[in-house]
Amino acid sequence: MCEEIAIDKNILIPILYKDDQLVAVAKPSGMFVHRSMADRSATEFVVQTVRDQLKCFVYPVHRLDRPTSGVLLLAKSSEAAALYAAMFAERQIQKTYLALVRGHTQDSGKIDRPLVSDKGRGKPATDPHSVPQEAETCYRTLEKFEAGFASGRHETTRCSLVEASPKTGRYHQIRRHLTGISHPVVGDADHGDTKFNRTFQQHAGVTRLMLAAVRVQFVHPMSKEQIVIDCSPEHSFIRVIELLREQAASR
């Protein structure tokens, strides 16, 4: 069991939930979960920061992309990490995300489209990792907007706030799936629409990926209680949604 320290106002990573096995934190957008070869200049990592806060080692149970914010589960032992990782693999843990996407989406939908894993990127077709794996994402539309600024040849800019629930955990799954149905996530530099992203940066001040993990829920393996961990989107996310709502009201 971890030895805990007092949490002061300068804490970097907010703690959302903790017990003897697990700690859930609100990962900031732009921070790696752990050290990565993707950016050797990075100096702040969720695992190291939470370890220093709680004065014990923590182990990531799953991952969130660097630009994605929201609920992240960390285990307090390698045994607990293996247990919760198995629960993710067996789809016993449900995750819910909010995403701001290009265009007006259908009221709800299911995207069932196999995806190549991270290890298979750029590999020849003969490589085992290049075989697409089962991937499924369900979504529902929460709000539709028509912003007053132009986008390309259109006088206004349409976008939607959607709730997405991945049933599998493939590499960049939500981002790739939404792009696959022509509704890329705003601010997605890897799979999104560069011109659309630039429009939102210029007119709405968007400098981040508009994707946030807002809920994780599961049955606790020991107590058998239903655990629901909610995480409000960061201010940088909420500010953009509020701006779109204000523009809708003025129109």
Is residue 165 included in any domain, yes or no? yes
- Do residues 55 and 23 share a domain? yes
CATH of the domain at 22: 3.30.2350.10
Is residue 223 included in any domain, yes or no? no
Catalytic residue among 65, 112, 118, 230: 65
Q: Helix-strand-coil percent breakdown of the chain, rounded to 5?
A: 25, 30, 45
Q: Tell me, yes or no, if 65 is annotated catalytic.
A: yes
- Do residues 39 and 15 share a domain? yes
- Do residues 47 and 124 share a domain? no
- Do residues 20 and 100 share a domain? no
Is residue 224 included in any domain, yes or no? no
The H or E element spanning position 48 is: helix 46-54
From first to last of its 251 residues, what are the pLDDT tens digits of the chain?
443 333 334 557 999 999 999 999 999 999 999 876 656 677 789 999 999 999 999 999 998 999 999 999 999 999 999 999 999 999 999 999 999 999 999 999 999 999 987 655 665 656 556 788 999 999 999 999 999 888 888 889 999 999 999 999 999 999 999 999 999 999 999 999 999 999 999 999 999 999 999 999 999 999 999 999 999 999 999 999 999 999 877 76
Is residue 222 included in any domain, yes or no? no
Residues 115 and 151: their CA atoms lie apart, in Å, by 30
- Do residues 138 and 55 share a domain? no
**Residue ranges making up the domain that contains 141:** 93-217+229-251
Q: Name the domain boundary from 90, 114, 134.
A: 90
